[in-house]
């Protein structure tokens, strides 16, 4: 018996050894570089406790300080990397942009609220490419100045008038003026003439989309989207239903408005009308079916309304905290424009310091501290680290704005850094995104902001209210919201 057991043990030992050798050979043949560094994940739940719940970019920046340009995180059903340097973002998202054109699936805002049709949230599919095909030329710098500069000028004038009448309601006046600009540019109107205010409804939708983007449990566990709305704890289902209905009604309202105005030959020059007229010419000449293209125009036009308010609020705050910069900009504007007329786009080339003020406002507080995440289509490697297919990639652009190796004394508002300094990183190269997913409306956003900035400094001297705290630290100045 003992001999039999000994022989059996030797056989089992040999079998185990052969199995181990086989597994080792298999792993080597399927080996990949190591994953990026990051905090140690816990069993089952991964790095859930390492994920920030507020002021997202500050914890992301701390992780970058500890683990390097790329931080690796794991949550149930998803792998994540956070990029904290311009070089890593440019290499991964710009140079390898074709592999990072998708978006990670977000169950709340995309599936339940149904906003996956808008250009920023669409996957990198043929319809998204059609959106980009329409948006790129329509929002080029030449097209904006040629077709839409009058809209910007009129909107800036309305804002100045509102500010004169009701200075205490400057935030409402600003939101209203910017909203009118975008609504007129996209759809050619601010209302349907029957009491439906496009701007107010768009602002309400912006609030809903911001809430839906804030992070829900259903985003971590997508199967929860099948929970019925009456189930205890399913408030997210009831919220999503309400927000989806509001969005659907608004889409139909704005589309019907354009169709009615065009049928009555009252269609004003705007993105949707101009594109539909061009498509109709193609159909008349070729007989092509343009149904898909028409829908793409409507959907891409609906994507125009973004959080442009954040761009200007940063400027207003900066002017109260940096009175010397404000005085220098106002002196330049007074010299070039004078007091007998409003500023115009033709003045841009003669106002280099004002241009620097706008650039510094973008850098000092990026309008979206982290831009919409990308998702990798295929396995990839970067600096010897492995990035598997389907990884969520979060670009922490706030950290670029505070990187002392990029910007000297980064917390200080200093437009002089952009004067006669051609080698400095232009904030427009990162605040509007990277690669094929970069915001096609970057020229639009900058031109709107420039016109509002120069008009405000031409008309007013801005001062901090008495009794306000000093706001010496970034954490006191900003709320770090995704959309403001």
pLDDT in tens, 102-140: 999 899 999 999 999 999 999 999 999 999 999 999 999
**Rounded Cα–Cα distance for residues 431 and 438 (Å):** 9
Domain range list for the chain: 49-477
Question: Per residue in 149-161, pLDDT tens?
Answer: 888 999 999 999 9
Please check the confidence at residue 242 and state whether its pLDDT lies above 50: yes
Please check the confidence at residue 324 and state whether its pLDDT lies above 90: yes
The strands making up 70-75's β-sheet, listed across from edge to edge, are: 70-75, 78-83, 392-395, 374-375
Question: Per residue in 421-476, pLDDT tens?
Answer: 989 999 999 999 998 899 888 999 899 999 999 999 999 998 887 777 777 888 87
Please check the confidence at residue 200 and state whether its pLDDT lies above 50: yes
Given this model, what pLDDT does residue 170 score? Answer: 83
Given this model, what pLDDT does residue 198 score? Answer: 92
**Rounded Cα–Cα distance for residues 335 and 457 (Å):** 12
Q: Choose the most confident range, by mean pLDDT, from 24-28, 33-37, 330-334, 364-368.
A: 330-334
Task: Read off the DSSP letter of residue 90.
Answer: I
Question: Per residue in 251-288, pLDDT tens?
Answer: 999 999 999 999 988 877 889 999 999 999 999 999 99
The tokens describing 85, both together, are 């340097």
Given this model, what pLDDT does residue 472 score? Answer: 80
Query: In the structure, what pLDDT confidence band is assigned to residue 91 with cuts at 50, 70 and 90?
Result: very high
Please check the confidence at residue 12 and state whether its pLDDT lies above 70: no
Please check the confidence at residue 239 and state whether its pLDDT lies above 90: yes
**Rounded Cα–Cα distance for residues 179 and 148 (Å):** 15
Given this model, what pLDDT does residue 254 score? Answer: 92
Selected residue with higher pLDDT from 168 and 426: 426
Please check the confidence at residue 328 and state whether its pLDDT lies above 90: yes
Please check the confidence at residue 11 and state whether its pLDDT lies above 90: no
Burial 157-195 (b: 16+ CB within 10 A, else e): eebbebbeeeeeebeebbbbbbbbbbbbbbbbbbbbeee
Selected residue with higher pLDDT from 11 and 434: 434
Q: Kindly report the CATH number that applies to the domain delimited by 49-477.
A: 1.10.630.10
Question: Per residue in 17-75, pLDDT tens?
Answer: 334 333 333 334 456 678 889 899 898 888 888 888 778 888 899 999 999 999 999 98
The 3-state DSSP class for residue 432 equals coil
Given this model, what pLDDT does residue 13 score? Answer: 41
Question: Is 190 marked within a binding site?
Answer: no
**Rounded Cα–Cα distance for residues 250 and 187 (Å):** 12
Query: In the structure, what pLDDT confidence band is assigned to residue 313 with cuts at 50, 70 and 90?
Result: confident
Given this model, what pLDDT does residue 470 score? Answer: 78
**Rounded Cα–Cα distance for residues 377 and 183 (Å):** 35
Given this model, what pLDDT does residue 307 score? Answer: 54
Residue with tokens 């030449």: 142
Residue partners of 465: CB distance under 8 A and separation at least 6: none
Given this model, what pLDDT does residue 271 score? Answer: 92
Given this model, what pLDDT does residue 348 score? Answer: 93
Task: Read off the DSSP letter of residue 122.
Answer: S
Given this model, what pLDDT does residue 309 score? Answer: 64
**Nearest CA among 470, 461, 476 for reference residue 321:** 470
Given this model, what pLDDT does residue 305 score? Answer: 73
**Rounded Cα–Cα distance for residues 308 and 245 (Å):** 24
Given this model, what pLDDT does residue 424 score? Answer: 96
Contact 354, 330 (CB under 8 A): no
**Nearest CA among 254, 251, 294, 297 for reference residue 137:** 297
Please check the confidence at residue 206 and state whether its pLDDT lies above 70: yes
Do the bridges between strand 78-83 and strand 70-75 make them parallel or antiparallel, or are there none, so unpaired? antiparallel
């Amino acid at each position: 018996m003992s001999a039999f057991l000994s022989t059996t043990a030797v056989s089992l030992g040999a079998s185990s050894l052969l199995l181990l050798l086989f597994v080792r050979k298999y792993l080597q043949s399927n080996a990949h570089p190591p994953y990026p560094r990051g905090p140690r994940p816990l069993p089952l739940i991964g790095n859930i406790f390492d994920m920030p719940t507020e002021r997202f970019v500050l914890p992301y920046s701390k992780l970058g300080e500890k683990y390097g340009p790329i931080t690796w995180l794991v949550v149930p059903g998803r792998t994540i990397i956070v990029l904290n340097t311009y070089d890593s973002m440019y290499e991964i998202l710009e140079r390898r942009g074709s592999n990072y054109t998708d978006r990670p699936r977000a169950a709340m805002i995309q599936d339940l609220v149904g906003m996956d049709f808008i250009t920023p949230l669409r996957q990198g599919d043929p319809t998204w490419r059609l959106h980009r095909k329409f948006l790129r030329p329509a929002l080029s710098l030449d097209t904006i100045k040629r077709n839409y500069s009058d809209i910007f000028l009129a909107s800036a004038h309305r804002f100045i008038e509102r500010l004169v009448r009701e200075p205490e309601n400057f935030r409402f006046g600003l939101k209203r003026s910017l909203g009118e600009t975008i609504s007129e540019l996209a759809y050619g109107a601010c209302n349907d003439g029957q009491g439906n205010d496009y701007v107010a409804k768009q602002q309400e939708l912006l609030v809903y989309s911001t809430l839906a983007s804030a992070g829900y449990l259903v985003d971590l566990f997508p199967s929860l989207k099948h929970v019925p709305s009456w189930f205890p704890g399913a408030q997210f289902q009831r919220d999503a239903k309400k927000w989806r209905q509001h969005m659907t009604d608004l889409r139909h309202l704005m589309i019907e408005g354009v169709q009615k105005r065009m049928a009555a030959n009252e269609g004003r020059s705007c993105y949707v009308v101009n594109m539909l007229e061009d498509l109709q010419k193609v159909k008349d000449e070729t007989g092509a079916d343009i149904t898909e293209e028409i829908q793409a125009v409507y959907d891409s036009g609906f994507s125009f309304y973004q959080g442009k308010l954040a761009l200007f609020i940063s400027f207003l705050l900066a002017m109260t905290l940096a009175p010397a910069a404000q005085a220098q900009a106002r002196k330049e504007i007074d010299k070039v424009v004078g007091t007998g007329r409003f500023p115009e786009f033709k003045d841009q080339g003669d106002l280099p310091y004002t241009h620097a003020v706008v650039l510094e406002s973008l850098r000092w507080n990026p309008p979206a501290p982290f831009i919409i995440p990308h998702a990798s289509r295929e396995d990839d490697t970067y600096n010897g680290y492995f990035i598997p297919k389907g990884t969520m990639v979060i670009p922490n652009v706030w950290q670029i704005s505070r990187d002392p190796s990029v910007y000297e004394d980064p917390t200080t508002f200093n437009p002089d850094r952009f004067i006669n300094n051609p080698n400095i990183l232009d904030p427009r190269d990162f605040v509007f995104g990277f690669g094929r997913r970069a915001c096609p409306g970057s020229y639009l956003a900058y031109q709107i902001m420039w016109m509002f900035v120069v008009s405000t400094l031409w008309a007013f001297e801005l001062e901090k209210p008495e009794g306000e705290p000093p706001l010496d630290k970034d954490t006191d100045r900003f709320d770090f919201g995704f959309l403001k």
